[in-house]
Structure 1
Amino acid sequence: MNHETLARGVPRTAPGAVVVLTLTGRVTVGPAEGRAICFGRNRPEVDVCVGETDLRVSRRHGALTRRDGYWWVDNTGRLPIRLPGTRWLFRDEDPIPLPVGYTPLFIRGSRDREHLLELYVAGEDGGQPAVQHGAPTQPPRRWRLTEEERLLLVVLGQRYLLHEASPQPISRQQAAEVLAELRPDANWSVKRVEHMVHDVRARLSAQGVYGLRRDEVGEPVGNALNENLLRELVLSTTLVPPDLALLDPLP
């Protein structure tokens, strides 16, 4: 059975307009400055109803507001809103601007349910972006690493490159021990591993990679910062499985 979705685009509408779709309805709102759309569980008091049978969803869970040429999403509910790219928006955090095109939002409900709120911001053509069947494919943005950084990150993230299910970085202590075997003259230590990984995270964060700072992932941080770093490096093909050859000298 095919369900309606905004993922395939929207009919032509005013440039900058936003279309909002849930299981219970759909609204389209023009791009006038100051326009607002409220969403949540309480159907009589919101513009878009989402999760109306789930008491984990707040009665007024969030809002979209048109300001400074963008639509901004704001969380006013008790539970966070999940955006693409493993990004979370919590209550009382600064609103996030929506890009042109399709954005799905997910509200976590009871018993691991997730309630979908689909958004589509119309571009200058008032609808779908232009198709580009014959245009050259844009390569992923690969990040520049020094030789030592690459070796360290391959050691730390070898489980990702081996395509293990639910991979995790190895511990800093393990990484330091492996590196000491590979390069016994390089004075590897746990502290050196920590500092070098921190420097790579800071460099990528400054260039726009999300999820590499403590304030972006929330407490407890655990291993989240290094997990996000390694996923970015693998997904951008900065690190690839053939890099595991750097570990070949190990017995």
Structure 2
Amino acid sequence: MTEGMYPLGRLTPSLVRQEPLFAGAAAPVGTLFVLGDAGGYAAAAVAGRSLVVGRNAPDVHVAIGGEDGYVSREHVLLRCVEHGTGTRWVVRNGGKLPIRLPDTAPLLRAHEAPLPVGYTPLYIQGSQLHVVEVLVSDGHRHRGAVRPDTSTGNLRLPITRREWLVLVAMFSAVLAREDQALPLSWNETGKVLNTVPGQSGWNDRKAEAVVDGVRHRLTAAGIERLTRETAPAEALKTNLARVLVDTGTLLPEDLTILNTGIDPNPAGLMNR
């Protein structure tokens, strides 16, 4: 085993929920965690270090899409490079299919982009959607003791601003507490999004693709009844709405965005 690199077992919890320990202790700043279909890898930030993700299970660090012939044998390359006085991690597409990241253009073959600190899902759409979970540690795994003056915590689930906008539109009737409120259809959701100031080009397929990404990521995090294999198709939206509302991920005040195009919480989605 290379020094500073450790395998993560198949029972490792989703990186959405918990940052794993690194060699039995909290990870140093910049440590990279990667989870695929059956475990993953952790690597300290050392310039020149790289991890490979792909279908060729015996020869890659993290395996995905083992039975999906559209996923390349070495589809994702994660490299640690020098940056300023330190280092940063970069993701590069070595496969044929694009790699989608939240809030940025898809990475095409041979394209690369820096990874931000924190959690980033990588989506590869082959014969099915594959999710590679990536986490760059900020070095603050443990929380301090709760005191009377401690800020209120939250159970809010990690979603991007783009995902949040689509979800607010789709569940607008639910958030408005209308009688017998139901989620909007994909077509209705696209139409609402196109009326939001600063938004255009939405349609049913784009809205559905965003929400499918959220469902798959939350399922990987251990949240149940969000896939067609675990719940009736007609219940998926309702189940997702319940999860998002119960965790405070969506709030009634979020409806403001639909009329103004302005985020009611400019300090950031996580500060609720």
1:100-139 alignment runs, 5 A limit: 100-110=117-127, 113-125=128-140, 127=141, 134-135=150-151
Q: What's 1:6 paired with? A: 15
Q: What's 1:164 paired with? A: 184
- Count of matched residue positions in the alignment of Structure 1 and Structure 2: 170
Q: What's 1:74 paired with? A: 92
Q: What's 2:109 paired with? A: 91
Q: Structure 2 vs 1, CA of residues 21 and 223 (structure 1 numbering), >3 Å: closer, same or farther?
A: closer
Q: Identify unmatched segments of 5+ residues in structure 1.
A: 139-157, 176-196, 202-211, 213-221, 229-233, 244-251
Q: Structure 2 vs 1, CA of residues 238 and 92 (structure 1 numbering), >3 Å: closer, same or farther?
A: farther
SS in 2 for 1:239: helix
CA contact (8 A) 2:34 2:40 kept: yes
Q: Per-residue deviation at 1:56?
A: 0.9
- Cα deviation 1:188-229 (Å, max 9, x = unaligned): xxxxxxxxx7xx46xxxxxxxxxx8xxxxxxxxx647xx89x
1:180-195 alignment runs, 5 A limit: none
CA contact (8 A) 1:10 1:128 kept: no
Q: Structure 2 vs 1, CA of residues 108 and 132 (structure 1 numbering), >3 Å: closer, same or farther?
A: farther
SS in 2 for 1:168: helix
- Cα deviation 1:95-137 (Å, max 9, x = unaligned): 2222222222222121xx1222111211133x36779894279
Q: 2:67 aligns with which of 44, 47, 53?
A: 53
Q: Structure 2 vs 1, CA of residues 124 and 3 (structure 1 numbering), >3 Å: closer, same or farther?
A: closer
Counterpart of 2:190 in structure 1: which amino acid? Q
- Cα deviation 1:162-182 (Å, max 9, x = unaligned): 663222238x9xx9xxxxxxx
| TM-score when normalising by structure 2 | 0.50
State the alpha-carbon separation in 1 of the partners of residues 32 and 42 from structure 2.
6
CA contact (8 A) 2:172 2:255 kept: no
Q: Identify unmatched segments of 5+ residues in structure 2.
A: 1-10, 155-168, 174-182, 208-251, 262-272
State the alpha-carbon separation in 1 of the partners of residues 114 and 144 from structure 2.
22
State the alpha-carbon separation in 1 of the partners of residues 253 and 47 from structure 2.
37
CA contact (8 A) 1:18 1:31 kept: yes
Q: 1:18 aligns with which of 18, 21, 32?
A: 32
SS in 2 for 1:169: helix
Q: Per-residue deviation at 1:6?
A: 1.6
Alignment RMSD, CA only? 4.1
State the alpha-carbon separation in 2 of the partners of residues 70 and 18 from structure 1.
10
Q: Structure 2 vs 1, CA of residues 239 and 71 (structure 1 numbering), >3 Å: closer, same or farther?
A: same
Note if 1:37 corresponds to 2:51: yes
CA contact (8 A) 2:34 2:42 kept: yes
Q: Per-residue deviation at 1:159?
A: 8.9
CA contact (8 A) 2:91 2:115 kept: yes
State the alpha-carbon separation in 2 of the partners of residues 18 and 71 from structure 1.
8
CA contact (8 A) 1:123 1:129 kept: no
Q: Per-residue deviation at 1:4?
A: 2.7
Q: What's 2:232 paired with? A: none
1:192-207 alignment runs, 5 A limit: 200=198
CA contact (8 A) 2:27 2:139 kept: no
Q: Which has the larger radius of gyration?
A: 1
